[in-house]
Amino acid sequence: MRSRQHLFSPKIDNWLIGFKDGADFVVMFFKETFSRDFEFKEFVNQCYRIGNSSLLLISLTGFVTGFVFTKQSRPSLETFGATSWLPSLVTIAIIRALAPLVTSLICAGKVGSSIGAELGSMKVTEQIDAMEVSAVNPVRFLVVTRVLASTVTIPLLSFYCALMAMAGVFLNVSNSEDTSFSAFLEQAFNNIIFLDLWTAIIKAVSYGFTIGIVGCYKGYNASNGTLGVGKAANASVVMSMFLIFIEEVFIVQVTNWFR
Amino acid sequence: MNKVIEIEHLFKSFGDRDILIDASIDVFQGENLVVLGRSGTGKSVLIKIIAGLLTADRGKVNVLNQSLINISKKELNALRLKIGFSFQSSALYDSMTVQENLEFPLVRNNKSMTRKEIDKAVHSVLDSVGLLQALTQMPSELSGGQKKRIGVARTLIMNPEIMLYDEPTAGLDPITCVEINQLINEVKENYHTSSIVITHDLTCAKQVSDRVAVLFDGNFKFKGTFDEVFKNHDPRIKSFYDYNFIEN
């Protein structure tokens, strides 16, 4: 038996090894993405699965977010006699932050865990090995398609979430102030600038990528049978959410330099 | 006879645990070699190294005259087309029908095949494992024995020269075990394959083996025909035999 040497402590060593493995996985993803033989059919299938599975939840959450956020903001603005700013204020909040963040957090729970569990289950039942031994590249078939699907679909879902949230805002505003739809739109989008839209798109794309790559990484490296599958699904959600919040802070800081 | 697999002085460990220690074995063309051994002795590790799923720490592994040490990904994939691997768990793709499972390796490795040719190949291998009626079924709708057969069919569709069976009879009832053993022999006859069968089921070993090799403590302690090996009076062999065939 050999005794194992540690560079720092076992915990730090494991963290560093995990970080390197993760980085290698991302590099492998990009290599396979730009190689030949893209699995287009599987990509479309995954886009449909991600979109379809989250649509109802995002409709409801988006609408409620818009409605409640407007309702909660009203008393503060009323104090200053500035309720006419309400559509504009809430729209900025929805487009800049709420829509991409709410969508990605829902998708981290629903899509990330699903990808982690599916790939984890395939790993522990040797289905990924079966692909490899039949000379089929499992990264190209399983990982590239899922990561690209979430990178493409989550921005679309974010856009849809923003629409649903705006519907919630309009319902609240029109009930309270009897505002027409055209007047509401004018007030709402008066202060939205091109950078806000770009920021929302950049956020949604990076969150989508994060959810896909983390789910695939955790699932692809699952071990220890069904326990490992559960852990992979759970770790996909936790790590995705953690990274999404870090990215949120980073993107806000960077985009603020351009304002 | 030609050697299709040559393994010399093979070492493999996981962390602090040594699994294969100086293991050496050859597989000759057209033979079924059965590798016996208790759980955890490295039987599955051995065939995973041969299939390129694991890499050896040290030693020589030649498959069809090609060394697996420092082999490129492209060369390994070309070699894998000549190797069929039947997994212990069957490893059928859950989300695909039987037909899609069988087509999966074929369409990705033979891009020029027409739909008609693919269908013909699928029907042919399904017929050879006696499960033509399962074409549209999902893996969850199949019994354990049927899953094993479809798993074998999925490898046969690529016309392999070498078959690697990982515990082909594990978890099956005795009658299905006999059917699977017959299938292994039929595959050898009809597809002219050389095979390694990993098992701890001596009935299976007796029915399918041309030669038997027994793994103890990380290397092959006993090699020969089934009768030669089990005539040995070594207590480890005797206990293995007694456990499988309880004599009254």
The token duo for A252 is 């806000």
Percent of chain A predicted with pLDDT > 70:
98
pLDDT > 50? residue A80 = yes
Tell me the residue length of chain A.
Answer: 259
CA atoms within 13 A on the CB side of B11: 8
Take residue B154 and report the two structure tokens written for it. Answer: 């999925």
pLDDT > 90: percent of chain A: 79
Query: Beta strand B17-28 with B3-14: parallel, antiparallel or unpaired?
Result: antiparallel
Residue A4, pLDDT above cutoff 70: no
Residue of A234, A231, A201, A211 lying closest to A112 (CA atoms) = A211
Please check whether residue A45 touches B, CB under 8 A.
Answer: no
Quick one: pLDDT band at residue A1, thresholds 50, 70, 90?
A: very low
pLDDT tens, residue by residue, A22-49: 999 999 999 999 887 889 999 999 999 9
Q: Are A132 and B53 inside 8 Å of each other by CB?
A: yes
> Are B144 and B172 in contact, with CB atoms under 8 Å apart?
yes
ipTM here: 0.90
pLDDT at B248: 39
Interface mutation target, options A48, A127, A141, A146, chain B, most CBs of B under 10 Å = A127
Angle at B109 between CA B107 and CA B115, to 5 degrees: 25
DSSP-derived letter for residue A44 is H
> What is the model's pTM?
0.89
pLDDT tens by residue, A94-137: 999 999 999 999 999 999 999 999 999 999 999 999 999 999 99
CA distance A197 to A200: 5
How do residues A181-239 score in pLDDT, each as one tens digit?
999 999 999 889 999 999 999 999 999 999 999 999 999 999 888 899 999 999 999 99
CB–CB of A135 and B92 under 8 A? Answer: no
pLDDT of residue A65: 96
Q: Give the phi and the psi of residue A5 in degrees, each rounded to 5.
A: -90, 140
Q: Dihedrals φ, ψ of B113, to 5°? A: -70, 140
Question: Is A224 in the B-facing interface, judged by CB distances under 8 Å?
Answer: no
CA A192 to each of CA A88, A172, A202: distance values in angstroms, whole numbers, following the listed order: 8, 20, 16
Pairs from A68-77 (Cβ < 8 Å, separation ≥ 24): A68/A168, A69/A93, A69/A94, A69/A98, A69/A165, A69/A168, A69/A169, A70/A168, A70/A169, A70/A172, A70/A173, A71/A172, A74/A172, A74/A176
Encode chain B (248 residues) as per-residue pLDDT tens digits: 799 999 999 999 998 899 999 999 999 999 999 999 888 889 999 999 999 999 999 999 999 999 998 899 999 999 999 999 999 999 999 999 999 999 999 999 988 899 999 999 999 999 999 999 999 999 999 999 999 999 999 999 999 999 999 999 988 888 999 999 999 999 999 999 999 999 988 889 999 999 999 998 888 988 999 989 888 888 778 777 776 665 43
A88: pLDDT strictly greater than 80 = yes
Hey, of B19, B85, B196, which one would you mutate to test binding to chain A, going by the most A CBs within 10 A of its CB?
Answer: B85
CB proximity list for A248: less than 8 A, separation 6 or greater? A97, A101, A203
DSSP B82-130: TEEEE-TT----TTS-HHHHHHHHHHHH-TT--HHHHHHHHHHHHHHTT
Half-sphere exposure of B172 (CA within 13 A, CB side): 27
DSSP B31: -
Cα distance between residue B169 and residue B171, in whole Å: 6
Q: What is the pLDDT of residue B171?
A: 86
Angle between helix A145-177 and helix A194-220 axes, rounded to 10 deg: 140
In this structure, which amino acid lies at residue A148?
A: L
User: B222 touching A, CB under 8 A?
Assistant: no
Q: How far is the C-alpha of B161 from the C-alpha of B165, rounded, in Å? A: 13
